[in-house]
């Protein structure tokens, strides 16, 4: 089956997000998503906890600050240490049974891997709805994915409820975390989405979420 999943969402368990577990489920359903990957900064316990408490499909993940830039791990059950070189971080993710995604690899104001993205990764996040400037980021990330011959994925990088689902990945898999992760690795996925609308960005700024990762 074709699943629509936003592969990059932060909850209140990230120090810079406003999204409560209740809002996460509400907005995901409103947007017609089949599921979301919770990728809080430096922790996976929040994703595992929320997954147990809801009937929405949750792909447990974590966003790691490596020495070379941010990396998203999907399908892991344990935290991955930060501040390691990217190559070692990718190895740790694989050892933990997950896949490594080069998130927002070419953008400003976020810790981006840029040229340090290698074919050791399992996928490239070609659409990140909060990347600035959006079109340029998408174009360069697409070039990177095709150069490295890696699957392309998309996520909103939401830190505020209305941002959920601004981007999503269509994955050809059954509703099972292991199968979803495997399908992404095999490239049975397609990225869709756009930038977070300016009005939503402004509302989030007013709510005091200035710092973005």
Site residues (vs Zn ion, CB under 5 A): 63, 70, 110, 157, 213
| Residue number, 116 or 179, with CB nearest to Zn ion | 116
| Residue number, 70 or 92, with CB nearest to Zn ion | 70
Tell me the closest approach of the beta carbon of residue 14 to Zn ion, in angstroms: 8
Tell me the closest approach of the beta carbon of residue 174 to Zn ion, in angstroms: 27
Euclidean distance between CA atoms 73 and 75, whole angstroms:
7
Residue 68 φ/ψ region, left for φ over 0, alpha for ψ in the -120 to 50 degree band, beta for the rest: alpha
Both tokens of 104, joined, read 């927002």
| Residue number, 43 or 179, with CB nearest to Zn ion | 43
Euclidean distance between CA atoms 77 and 61, whole angstroms:
8
Tell me the closest approach of the beta carbon of residue 47 to Zn ion, in angstroms: 13
Closest CA to 129 of 1, 10, 3, 2: 10
| Residue number, 179 or 212, with CB nearest to Zn ion | 212
Residue nearest to Zn ion (CB): 70
Let me know: does 44 contact 76? Beta carbons within 8 Å: yes
Let me know: does 128 contact 177? Beta carbons within 8 Å: no
Q: Is 182 exposed, middle or buried (0-12, 13-18, 19+ CB in 10 A)?
A: middle
Tell me the closest approach of the beta carbon of residue 135 to Zn ion, in angstroms: 19
Tell me the closest approach of the beta carbon of residue 130 to Zn ion, in angstroms: 8
| Residue number, 179 or 200, with CB nearest to Zn ion | 200
Both tokens of 55, joined, read 């009937």
């Amino acid at each position: 089956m074709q699943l629509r999943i936003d592969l990059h969402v932060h909850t209140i368990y990230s120090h810079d997000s406003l999204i409560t577990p209740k809002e996460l489920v509400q907005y995901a359903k409103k947007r017609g998503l089949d599921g979301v990957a919770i990728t809080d900064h430096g922790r996976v316990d929040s994703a595992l906890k929320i997954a147990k408490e809801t009937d929405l499909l949750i792909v447990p993940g974590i966003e790691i600050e490596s020495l070379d830039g941010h990396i998203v791990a999907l399908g892991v059950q344990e935290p991955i240490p930060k501040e390691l070189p990217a190559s070692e971080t990718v190895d740790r993710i694989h050892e933990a049974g997950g896949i490594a995604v080069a998130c927002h690899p070419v953008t400003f104001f976020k810790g981006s891997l840029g040229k340090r993205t290698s074919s050791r990764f399992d996928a490239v996040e070609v659409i990140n709805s909060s990347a600035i400037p959006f079109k340029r980021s998408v174009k360069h990330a697409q070039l990177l994915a095709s150069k490295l011959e890696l699957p392309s994925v998309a996520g909103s990088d939401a830190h505020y409820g209305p941002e959920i689902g601004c981007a999503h990945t269509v994955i050809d898999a059954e509703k099972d975390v292991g199968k979803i992760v495997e399908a992404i690795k095999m490239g049975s996925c397609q990225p869709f989405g756009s930038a977070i609308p300016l009005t939503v960005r402004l509302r989030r700024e007013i709510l005091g979420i200035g710092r973005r990762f």
